[in-house]
Amino acid sequence: MVRPDIYVNGRFLTQPLSGVQRFALEINAALAHVSVANGYSAPVTLTPNTVLLEQKVNEYPVRAVGRQRGQLWEQFELPWATRKGILINLGNTAPLLGRRHIVIIHDAGVFSQPNSYSWKFRTWYRVLLTLLRYSRAHLITVSHFSRSELSKYLRIPAEQISVISEGAEHIKSQAADGSILKRHSLRSQGYVLAVGNLAPHKNLAQLSHLADALAQRGTPLVISGSVNTTVFSDHGKQTLPKAAVYVGRVSDKELRALYENAACFVFPSLYEGFGLPPLEAMLCGCPVVAADIPVLREICGEAAYYVNPHDPEAITRSVLHILDTPIQAQEMRQAGLSRAAAFTWEKAARSLLQITEAVFS
């Protein structure tokens, strides 16, 4: 049987690294291995001429095509270059033209959390996602929660949207860089960690009570993240916890060190399509306190403590309970390791390839 060529939309390689780009980097590398094992050639990742992210590009074929960049490249040059094959789009956007496309849409945040996004980004994404709903593209998302959200906002039956998961093992692929602890005078098991960009829906403002309570104990709340104002709105940045230690964007090696040495990880987000940071924390043996929202229940299962993300005192009580109960903390570490081990990029890539075969066979 002659198998069609598979291409991957490599526009993500021209964008700053965030959650969507992380997903694309990891699953693309895994997809190359899974495809070859199943009798396909490794998918060719097509990019504009400008590539920003170099991570993992040695693990799959990459080819620059066209002369344009950004949306012009994606909408007009990419569909022509992939007209004889199947195009997999990993990062929410895709050409509106074309016969055999798969689009992975990570969440419906531009509809449900409009204040978190800049008006330009929000407007364009709403238009694009709505038009994709009427295109020939097959839609995939990363959780059952996101499928229900997309079904609601795009007004299509949920069963028409496929679901794959994500992985977390990338966080363990490089040795931890403990120099970040020294730079910020952090002791192992002597701080609480929060990770996330500083967009409003990440809800970091609700950690002020926790930061103050920890400061009274001499235990800092450490926050890693930044905000891209071309995507996210910067509303609410002034209300972030003043008592926290902000370490900004960190490398994967530094992030692993932060996870492995934190006494607890807290994730108060109001909205996620998947929720990768809690899973990364679990895989690094860190107890997790997470917002009690459906998608985090779906991903973290029984391995996390759940709290009302609108109740700062409840968040504080749960974190302090873990800090003050070593036996409970150890049980959570073991449960988290077991839970996170079930999520791998190879498993996600196999699901993606199976869906591709089923849709275009």
Between 318 and 238, name the one with better pLDDT: 318
How far apart CA 205 and CA 310 sit, in angstroms, is 10
How far apart CA 7 and CA 183 sit, in angstroms, is 43
Nearest Cα to Cα of residue 100 among 69, 79, 115, 116: 79
Confidence grade of residue 295 (pLDDT, cut at 50, 70, 90): very high
Between 311 and 136, name the one with better pLDDT: 311
Mean pLDDT of 76-105: 93
Q: What is the pTM of this model?
A: 0.91
Q: For residue 3, what are its two tokens?
A: 């198998």
Crossing angle of helices 345-360/19-37, nearest 10°? 70
- CA 173 from centre of chain: 17
How far apart CA 232 and CA 9 sit, in angstroms, is 23
- The residue behind tokens 């609410």 is 236
Crossing angle of helices 119-133/144-154, nearest 10°? 90
Bridge-based pairing state of the strands 161-163 and 245-246: unpaired
The answer to whether residue 361 scores a pLDDT higher than 80 is: no
> Among positive and negative, which fits the CA dihedral 219, 318, 273, 241?
negative
- The residue behind tokens 């449960």 is 335
pLDDT single digits (tens) 95-136: 998 789 999 999 999 999 888 888 888 898 999 899 988 888
* Domains contained in the chain, CATH given: 6-167+344-360 (3.40.50.2000), 169-341 (3.40.50.2000)
- The pLDDT assigned to 236 comes to 42
- CA 354 from centre of chain: 22
How far apart CA 258 and CA 241 sit, in angstroms, is 19
Q: For residue 60, what are its two tokens?
A: 């799959």
How far apart CA 28 and CA 243 sit, in angstroms, is 39
The answer to whether residue 168 scores a pLDDT higher than 60 is: yes
* Helix or strand run (H / E) with residue 103: strand 101-104
pLDDT single digits (tens) 219-235: 999 999 874 444 444 44
